[in-house]
Structure 1
Amino acid sequence: MTSNAGPVIRVEDVTRTLEGEVPVTLVRDVNLVVERGEFVCVMGPSGSGKSSLLYLLGLLDVPSTGRIWIDGQDTSRFDDGMLTDFRLARLGYVFQFHFLLPEFSALDNVLLPMRKLGRLTEPQALARGSELLERLDMADQQHKRPSQLSGGQRQRVAIARALANDPLVILADEPTGNLDSAASTNVRDILRALTRADGNRHRKTVVAVTHDTQFASVADRRIGIVDGRIDLGWQPAFQP
């Protein structure tokens, strides 16, 4: 059950260090709040910790110190099984490379998270998968395999898959990094529209890592990160 009280994401004093002979700190002393329905872009130089922060927010990695709350739940209290279930039910992911299964159709790729979660019957899942692809102007492509689709079409299928289980938050890592300008604009507009949908049930929160200043220009907020730390003074050089 989604709560409508408080921020959707709250990060408190989070540091992530890879232990070893020479420890490497990926993210350091991060404090961050993301409100419901926000479209937030995380930006910064290469190697600054952007993707590491996104993986922490997406519960694909865990902090060395500090805590992350999502929808009011302290995820530091989750065991591995709880983390897996929470990711599947509440979070959606879009990456630079779509990671669609090549042997499956577009529709079957979208059905995978629903089948794994098991909340819907097969007819219900088929209906939802088709509806999501239709919303993304992919209805006539749903039975094609990824190799038969353009890069922009594959990324739209990946967005449909991310939406399959009606997640609270969409996390996107360089979602336009492998696309031409027209496809990039299309993906940007789709993700922004998700945060503007009518009604709390349909409105998503989107947190995206990007180098693309055109993509970031429509965000509600841009967060700079440098050397693993949030840098409130860092700003990208926006292109006209």
Structure 2
Amino acid sequence: MNSKTVLITGASSGIGKALALAYAEMGYLVYAGGRNQQRLDELVLENANIKPLVCELTNKKALIAASGDLPQLDILILNAGNCEYINDAVNFDSDLFARVITTNLISVGYCLEAWLKLVKPGGQLVLTSSSAQFLPLPRAEAYGASKAGLSYLAKTLSIDLQNSHIDVSLIHPGFVSTPLTDKNDFPMPSIISTAQAADYIVEGINKRKAEINFPKHFTYLMKLISLLPFSIWKKLATRMNK
């Protein structure tokens, strides 16, 4: 049996759950992080290689307290996140903004403080951002800002962790069918399943890719559009928002 270890946040549902099962089936010892004890207990029943790690990522003290017995890690995947939209920019909802930024970005800092020191030399750090960070999208002031910040964080960490021999991979998924995207009230082109997303991510991590973008035709299109003058994209996005 493979003795390698991986810690995955957001493992009680969506992409995180699919990744936990994928790595467990590969023989990894998987520490599955999440807030929902019941869902994690159900996940453990699916594969004996999975161990639950119940933690609230936005509570720094509780997170560190829950991490006391963790071993050294081969891979640390910080995947947990949330999405809420600003539906009325004039009456800006600062509480919503703070909530999303805290969940998607600030809590990652807490996780790094608690767990990055556990990653072995030669190990890997993986952060899940979003293809939304390639373009400013309608109503995505909070979500897009959090993911753009996360992408910047990952790239700077990839520089500063070179001497520690820790590789950093940055994930930019397109639309993936999860409980989060189920709430969306707009078309989601090229949407894929969580199992497909997990396959892309595992393959990218195995190859130690700096960026893992999928599905490729969708993310390439997003990157291509981002090269346009902003004035052109602004007109297109404004029409989308009507």
- Could you say whether these structures have the same fold, taking a TM-score greater than 0.5 normalized by the shorter chain as the test? no
Greater RCO, CA 8 A, separation 6+:
1
Q: Which protein has the bigger strand share? A: 1
TM-score (norm 1): 0.36
Q: TM-score, normalised on structure 2? A: 0.36
